[in-house]
Amino acid sequence: MKHVCPACHWPHLKEAPRTKSGGGSYEICPSCGFQPGVTEDDDGRSPAAWRKDWVKRGMAWASVGQPAPAGWDPAKQLKQRAR
Amino acid sequence: MSHRLLILLASFILTIPAFAAELVGVPKITVVSEKSAVVSWKTDVETGTRVSYGLAPDQLTERAEGGVTAAHEVTLTGLKPGARYFFAVGTARKKLATGEFVASASAATAASAPSSSPATSPPVAPRSKSVLAKIFAPQATPPTRETWGNMASLADHFARHGADFRAKDADEYARMAWQLGERSKQGGLLVKVDDDGTRRVFDPKSGAFAAYNSDGTTKTYFKPNSRDYFSRQPGRAIAVPKP
């Protein structure tokens, strides 16, 4: 089962961003770089704030280890509602 | 010999593949005095000699080196009496084992002068050679693919957090994370276990935090900026007694 990034709505996270107890998954989103459990809990930046900065930076693919899928469209992805 | 031949010969020497040395037996630590110790170990082939050591497992900033040999022996000097030291033995390129010891005057005198008080009678180097090795845990670190949970994400975790530990590459970063998890099983660190089996570990001394999946593989490893980060993490605190 895939999960959606709360910041950029990347729909292919391997884990739910938050566990039932509220803990972060620590999975770094390859699309925008948001890291549940760190970006919010340590850096104090909400998904909305992170998203705003990501858009401001031009919505660049964040991962250095995983290539962006062919035809990846961040603007289209962002319009998808997180389920 | 022509210059061209010299260059060719040098190129050949530089490209000879290095044989992977293996540790033979268990390294030994002999405390010579409260400020110095000798580390010795053997390898199956001749290799360079290096001991990296420091006061935290992720800060092995001190080095002591020796020659190319199969029977290695290095003296560590300038130790802080009573301090716990972490170290790694191996070569400049490869760490073969890691461990820790306490630079202890009392332990150093235990074999030679048990009735003397270290405070009033500091050990004399020539007669104080006693094996301390209070804690030594040679760790054959499993390959990264066995210790890191989501291999596809490792490069991103290393890019973001590797500098926290001065890790030179993703494998070293993953190895350090695994070692913290192993140390957490020996007590002395803060540990929480979440409902889903996630194990969170914090080392107050170094500031290192790691989270592990229920199968023991690493989820992430970094040094939080906020002091109360670990206390805000969910999970049931686990008291791990020291051995």
Model pLDDT for residues B103-142, shown as the tens digit of each residue: 765 543 322 222 223 333 333 333 334 444 444 445 567 8
Q: Does B218 touch chain A (CB under 8 A)?
A: no
**One-letter amino acid of B1:** M
Residue A68 backbone class (left: φ over 0; alpha: ψ -120 to 50; beta: rest): beta
Asked if pLDDT for residue B4 goes beyond 80, the answer is no
Q: What is the pTM of this model?
A: 0.61
Q: Which pLDDT score is estimated for B101? A: 80
Stretch B66-92: mean pLDDT, rounded? 88
Q: Which pLDDT score is estimated for B241? A: 67
Residue numbers in B near A30 (CB within 8 A)? 152-153, 156
State chain B's mean pLDDT as an integer.
Answer: 77
Q: How many CB atoms lie within 10 A of CB B100?
A: 18
Stretch B159-165: mean pLDDT, rounded? 97
Q: Does A30 touch chain B (CB under 8 A)?
A: yes
Stretch A66-82: mean pLDDT, rounded? 90
Q: Does A43 touch chain B (CB under 8 A)?
A: yes
pLDDT band per the 50, 70, 90 thresholds, residue B87: confident
Q: Looking at the predicted complex, does its ipTM rise above 0.90?
A: yes
Chain B's closest residue to A31, CA to CA, is B156
In this structure, is the dihedral angle defined by the CA atoms of residues B33, B205, B153 and B236, taken in order, positive or negative? Answer: positive
Q: Do A64 and B156 touch (CB under 8 A)?
A: yes
DSSP strand E in chain B: where?
23-33, 36-54, 62-76, 84-90, 95-102, 130-131, 190-193, 199-203, 208-212, 218-222, 236-238
- Lowest model confidence (mean pLDDT) among B128-142, B157-171, B188-202: B128-142
- Lowest model confidence (mean pLDDT) among A23-32, B38-47, B48-57, B69-78: B38-47
Residue B155 backbone class (left: φ over 0; alpha: ψ -120 to 50; beta: rest): alpha
pLDDT band per the 50, 70, 90 thresholds, residue B29: confident
Q: What would the pLDDT profile of A3-33 be if each residue is shown by its tens digit?
A: 999 999 999 999 999 999 999 999 999 999 9
Q: Do A38 and B220 touch (CB under 8 A)?
A: yes
Distance from CA of A38 to the nearest CA of B (A): 8
